[in-house]
A and B are shown apart, each in its own frame.
Chain A
Amino acid sequence: MAENLKCSHCNNPATVHLTQIVNNKIIKVDLCESCAQAKGVTDPEGFSLADLLTKTNLIPEGGEPQITCPSCGLTSADFRRTGRLGCATCYLHFIPLLRPVLEDMHAGTLHKGKVPQVALSRQSAAAELQTLKNALERAISEEAYEDAAKYRDQIQAIKKSADSEAVHS
């Protein structure tokens, strides 16, 4: 059966067949002699397929999910070529490609270190403020003045507490 398989890259008869379990999924790759050489697959025992998948184009385009970052436009092909991500939002979208890489690379996959408390609380306060401002505008345009007054008071309260914090720090 294996004799009938074709190389996933060039359609020549495949002579190198790799099967590995990566993240509980069975991954199979078939390669012809010359593609295997070109991809550096010479000793099937001695390397991790997961490693290879992230570093080279072992699986041809289309064989894995094509991801594009909605924020900076980075594609999975870009990521595989450079090994770099484009922006903070990439980390939300490239997780399927990243996770196996991180497991290999690091001591764990969950951050256990320092947390930028001040910057984070400022960011969430800013986000809350923006939501209230949007609600206020909507209420005004809908002539829901009671709601608008409520939103305005909340906005003022947040601004006031931010100001007094700034004075104290």
Chain B
Amino acid sequence: MIDSLIHSNKAELTQSAKNGSPVVLSTRVRLARNLVDTPFPGRASKSQRSDVLTKCVDRIAELPQMKQGLFFDTAELSDLEKQVLVERHLISRELCEAESGSGVFINKDQTCSVMINEEDHLRIQFMKTGFNLRSVWKQIDRFDSSLEDGLDVAFSQEFGYLTACPTNLGTALRASVMMHLPGLVISEHMDKVIRAVNQLGITVRGLFGEGSDATGHVFQISNQQTLGESEEEIMSRLGSVFKTIIDHEINARFKYLEQNRARLLDQIGRAFGTLQNAHVLNSNEAMNLLSLVRLAVDFEMLPEVNRSEVDRLFIECQPGHIQHAAGEGIEPDARDLCRADKVREEFARFPSLNFDKVNVIE
């Protein structure tokens, strides 16, 4: 069912024409919305949920942004297909568990997905590669306004947009960036950063959100608070925290390089060698090695075009993607062989590492 998504040559996160940026992999903004007069999904009856689904799907299908978009009913997706969509950040784990009458609408280039009857009636998400908070906000704001033109949403003057969980009340906005922070992890500063941003009402989580660990040195950083500040205030506060983290990351990288040059270059070189030659590769190892290759691109040891290839492999090396590519039902051990084959093949096309290019900051 989802083949056209996976083989699309326009998918934002895996087929971006841009070279990606150092540190920030992607930016996402999501809004939660509920229809007035129908209980939230967790408390709605089966028939109410299916009414909401029909109403929302009809409205979303009319929007120009969803031209050539695809709708998937959760009940019709296999577990593996759901896992692939989670790995592409198009649906949440919660939607996978959702009762009947739920689904997701995904636009053509996979920058926008709208989940229906997840925790709220509507969970709208826009994403883009790189650090793009403002432009992603503009897009989602426009989409949300045209959606509201045709749907009556639950809203109160006092509490703003009404959501099933009070943690999302108000703007119901969650803005997050996916950051690659090997410098802060290797120099053991990450815990300090997490504690500091937590104090500012900002959450740090692993690649796949709540409860996931930070393999590949990739972290999801987002606002926690949604009520009492406007969208602009939330985003300008977040934006300045993100910029500070980026600065700290860059400093940590160069400081580590200065003090442990041979050690760092050795790690990068061995990672590259392993990816070029391994025959068995589990997903954790693959992520951590790919992380070092991304760092190599940032240090100009590899051309910039290789960065987006690494970003694509971050997603395509996930268990669901490997299994989906190999056909259903292969064992985890066999997955590790398929993953190694894929990575070997891709890395055969990479140029060799240019160690002379690595310069210590002037």
Contacts and interface: CB of A to CB of B under 8 A. Distances in A.
Interface string A42-77: 000000000000000000000000000001101000
Contacts, number: 116
Contact of B155 (A87, A102, A120): A120
A122 interface: yes
A117 to B, nearest CB: 9
Given A84-B40, A119-B155, A114 B227 contact: no
A84 to B, nearest CB: 5
Contacts of A108: 227-229
Contact of B231 (A85, A106, A107, A114): A114
B158 A112 contact: no
Contacts of A111: 156-161, 169-171, 227-228
Interface in B149-208: 149, 151-162, 164-167, 169-171, 173, 201
Nearest to B167: A105
B39 A114 contact: no
Interface string A122-142: 110000000000000000000
A88 B167 CA distance: 15
A101 interface: yes
A114 B43 CA distance: 26
A118 B148 contact: yes
B151 A119 contact: yes
A83 B165 contact: yes
Given A84-B40, A88-B162, A102-B227, A116 B233 contact: no
A106 B228 contact: yes
Contacts of A120: 155
A72 B164 CA distance: 13
B158 A87 contact: no
A113 B165 contact: no
B30 to A, nearest CB: 14
A74 B43 contact: yes
B15 interface: no
B308 interface: no
A78 to B, nearest CB: 9
A115 interface: yes
A21 to B, nearest CB: 22
Interface in A87-105: 87-88, 91, 98, 101-102, 105
Contacts of B304: none
Nearest to A108: B228
A141 B164 CA distance: 42
Contacts of B201: 107
B226 interface: yes
Contacts of B330: none
A122 B148 CA distance: 10
Given A84-B40, A87-B40, A122-B152, A113 B119 contact: no
Nearest to A126: B152
B32 to A, nearest CB: 12
A72 B39 contact: yes
Given A88-B36, A112-B230, 5 more contacts: A84-B164, A85-B166, A111-B228, A113-B229, A119-B155
Interface of A: 71-72, 74, 82-88, 91, 98, 101-102, 105-116, 118-120, 122-123, 169
10 contacts: A72-B43, A83-B166, A84-B42, A88-B156, A106-B225, A106-B226, A111-B227, A113-B170, A116-B161, A122-B152
Q: Which 10 A-B pairs have the closest CB atoms?
A: A108-B228, A111-B160, A88-B154, A107-B228, A106-B227, A86-B43, A113-B171, A87-B39, A116-B148, A72-B39
